[in-house]
A = this chain, B = another copy of it.
């Protein structure tokens, strides 16, 4: 064991391998022109010394840090958790670092985003965070591509990766309609969310097209507790809805819980409840929630592709819309019943 050693630098490796310091740099740069045998000798010397190029110094010079900033609002939603896990693995596999920061899910400009931007990050990924124009503007100026995940921007002036919410919501509507329900309800997520808006539009429009009555609306804010309260209000109505479509699974799980445990309803027979996202819990026998599956793995893969492609030109932007699929389980009345 060596005694208390300061970090080894490329110069140490250079001396050891008997070459110039810049040769060491080249040995660690994929496209650089250097003799194969010399490179091997340098790599060998580096291994012995336990050397790795200092990413900080490298970033300072290159103007890019190999770091991707990831902003996330509420980690409590399993859909985001799953996404974060996938994204974490994907970035790691691509040799990119993931810098996580809390984005509160709100519109107001977050100071942390500001700070993150100074790390000369390769890209900024926002998971279900409502877009803010000031943030978008700042990133544009800093030449940092922004990728909205699970959100679209009003002006479509930024890149995003989203599911086809309208189609999904229409599929849910069609399924509920096929179950011969009359009174429908929609439990909304947060109002400023494009995701919620699209799901609501798809659901409402499909019902209207088929001549069904407009759904009752309650606000569940994408949150379990809020959704429980909203469900109570729905189920206490004289014209109690027969089918509830919740804008995400978290709220649907809350609705099932309240319907079953507080109102003693047989979910799937006396009332139908459907969600969106198809989180792992939806498949648990205790819930058996009908939902619309978002292809998380595909969406994350697309996000990575965008990161790699946009870091060369941040001004370009691209919208990716992923197709999902309806997953019918026991929480909705069977078709034709």
Contacts and interface: CB of A to CB of B under 8 A. Distances in A.
A132 interface: no
A99 B98 contact: yes
Contacts of A48: none
Nearest to A67: B99
Given A118-B52, A280-B76, A101 B112 contact: no
A54 interface: yes
A67 B118 CA distance: 13
Contact of A7 (B75, B102, B142): B142
A119 B56 contact: yes
A88 interface: yes
Contacts of A76: 78, 81-82, 85, 280
Interface residues of A, number: 53
Nearest to A84: B75
A97 B262 CA distance: 44
A54 B59 CA distance: 11
Contacts of A261: 285-286
Nearest to A60: B56
Q: Which 3 A-B pairs have the closest CB atoms?
A: A261-B285, A75-B85, A100-B100
Interface of A: 5, 7, 52-57, 59-60, 65, 67, 70, 74-76, 78, 81-82, 84-85, 88-89, 92, 95, 97-102, 112, 114-116, 118-120, 141-142, 224, 253, 256-258, 260-262, 280, 284-287
